[in-house]
Amino acid sequence: MTAIPVAAQKYDLGFARWVRDNVDGGDMMNMCMQCGVCSGSCPLGEQMEHGPRKLFMMIRAGMKDAVLSSNSWQSCVSCYNCVVRCPRKVPVKYILQGLGGVAVKEGYAEGAKSDNGAFGRAFWKTSATTGRTDERAVTVRYYWASGGIMGLIKKGLANMDVAMGLIKTKRMPIFSMPDKIKNTSELKTILDKAMEIQARHGAE
Ligand code: SF4
Ligand code: SF4
């Protein structure tokens, strides 16, 4: 992977070429005819700052910072609607995913605000530290990320019905500690190794 162009200006005209050469599926972006089917089909389109169609136009315009700091790539839930429906067979989802990888490496991830991103980080943190995805631990981390104690209370109250449903159907225990695997240090070793391989792969 070549180094991402550093834009001295707001519009970096080398960015589209860089995406084409370095992002999975980026070479297909030239096929986009701006029909908007992807954005119109996307269940998360309304929550994205820029739908896929607009995002591709922004890439062509060289708006690197705006593209990488947008919540669009964090909002994608990989439903593949866009991939199936695009009349030009542009692998929209893969391009968003690739942009997300670049954005994380380039340090844009923390600035980009997305509920899905916050949920993903809560899910990762919980599973990476305990080897389990305990609903309570993930939920508390996720709610906390949306505004500390106030976020926790606000989102907790707003989702009380869901919590009660989970408790009633025994999908969420309340009188036991969150579950975790026996050997978390072994898990850490595996994850560290995986990240090392990924970093090496990304640097190639
Ligand atoms: S559906 Fe395909 S061709 Fe249409 S705007 Fe989206 S990516 Fe471009
Ligand atoms: S895969 Fe992502 S971008 Fe495509 S329609 Fe689904 S949520 Fe939207």
User: CA-to-CA distance for 57 and 61, rounded, in angstroms?
Assistant: 6
Closest CA to 47 of 73, 67, 23: 73
Mutate to test the pocket of ligand 1, among 27, 35, 39, 80 (most ligand atoms within 8 A of CB): 35
Averaged confidence pLDDT in the chain: 86
User: CA-to-CA distance for 92 and 89, rounded, in angstroms?
Assistant: 8
Q: Which two tokens stand for residue 181?
A: 């695997």
Range with the poorest average pLDDT among 8-22, 24-38, 111-125, 128-142: 111-125
84 lines ligand 2 (CB under 6 A): no
82 Cα–ligand 1 center, Å:
8
Q: In ligand 1, which atom is closest to the CA atom of 33? A: 3
- pLDDT at position 110 is 62
Please name the residue whose Cα sits nearest to atom 6 of ligand 2. Answer: 79
Position 4 confidence tier, pLDDT thresholds 50, 70, 90: low
Residue 40 pLDDT more than 90? yes
Residue 90 pLDDT more than 80? yes
Mean pLDDT of the 137-159 span: 88
Q: Which two tokens stand for residue 23?
A: 């992002």
Percent of the chain past pLDDT 90, that is, above it, reads: 38
Prediction pTM value: 0.68
154 Cα–ligand 1 center, Å:
38
71 lines ligand 2 (CB under 6 A): no
- 6 vs 156, residue with greater confidence: 156
Position 177 confidence tier, pLDDT thresholds 50, 70, 90: confident
Q: In ligand 2, which atom is closest to the CA atom of 79? A: 6
Please name the residue whose Cα sits nearest to atom 7 of ligand 2. Answer: 76
Q: Across 53-57, 100-104, 154-158, which has the greatest mean pLDDT?
A: 53-57
Q: In ligand 1, which atom is closest to the CA atom of 34? A: 5
Please, what's the largest Cα pairwise distance for the chain?
57
Residue 84 pLDDT more than 70? yes
39 Cα–ligand 2 center, Å:
8
47, 77 in Cβ contact below 8 A?
no
86 lines ligand 1 (CB under 6 A): yes
45 Cα–ligand 2 center, Å:
8
Residue 54 pLDDT more than 90? yes
- pLDDT at position 8 is 52
Residue 112 pLDDT more than 70? no
Mean pLDDT of the 104-121 span: 72
